[in-house]
Amino acid sequence: MAGQSDSPISLFSPEEVEFIAEDELMEIVPNMRMDPLNFICGDFGPFFPQIPVKVPLWLAVALKKRGKCTIRPPQWMSVENLTQLLEGEREDQGTFQAVPFHYIEISRLLFDHAREDIPDIYMVRSLIEDIRDVRLHKVETNLEKFSATSAVKIAHLSAMEVNVVRPFVVRSLQAFYKHDNPVVTADLDSMSNRQPQVRQPQVPNNARRFE
């Protein structure tokens, strides 16, 4: 009810993209014993203390909040890997590094709920922020190159990055397409206009309503 994404032009709100990301599997180390959980999305568990097990991110966060587990940050979230990624992003302005599709959402959820489980959290956090900023800037540079209808292919964009630029990109491409193909629009227009041309005004039926 409240707070739903109001903009009709944006397909998903960031909250909704985050919701999708919560299905990504995470490794947790439980500190309790629990029977397997059988969900529509799959079966998880059984859970034994100190035995790592994979669960969806939302479940990991829920258990973490109740102090039932620690979360093992994903492999890519290491300082070495992130440093390498950032260097790659900076060196090659033309292309994007392959990052996890939900890296922005996953890292935000883990920073919010599992700070103590992430080694070098401050470093990791600032690296991810840098990577995100460099990439968003690069996306923008990429968009500047649009000049007419052409297939647009940008590899390795992440879910949130795509979501941020989607409303603008879709509208711009539509405008470029429309003006780059005047024949298309002219045809479309004359098709919708042709109708009244053939019909000469008789006493129109629909006019009667206003009698």
Binding residues for another protein (CB under 8 A): 1-7, 9-10, 13-16, 18-19, 108, 112, 140, 143-144, 146-148, 160, 163-168, 171-172, 175-176, 178-180, 182, 185-186, 189-190, 193, 196-197, 200-204, 206-208, 210-211
CB of 101 vs another protein, minimal distance in Å: 16
CB of 40 vs another protein, minimal distance in Å: 16
Q: Which is nearer to another protein, 116 or 144 (CB)?
A: 144
Q: Which is nearer to another protein, 123 or 136 (CB)?
A: 136
CB of 165 vs another protein, minimal distance in Å: 7
- Per residue, the 3-state secondary structure of the chain, as one string, reads CCCCCCCCCCCCCHHHHHHHHCCCEEEEEECCCECCEEECCEEECCECCCCCEEEEHHHHHHHHHCCCEEEECCHHHCHHHHHHHHHHHHHCCCCCCCCCCCHHHHHHHHHHHCHHHCCCHHHHHHHHHHHHHHHHHHHHHHHHCCCCCCCCCCCCCCHHHHHHHHHHHHHHHHHHHHHHCHHHHHHHHHHHHHHHHHCCCCCCHHHHHHC
CB of 168 vs another protein, minimal distance in Å: 4
Q: Which is nearer to another protein, 88 or 169 (CB)?
A: 169
Q: Which is nearer to another protein, 84 or 190 (CB)?
A: 190
CB of 184 vs another protein, minimal distance in Å: 10
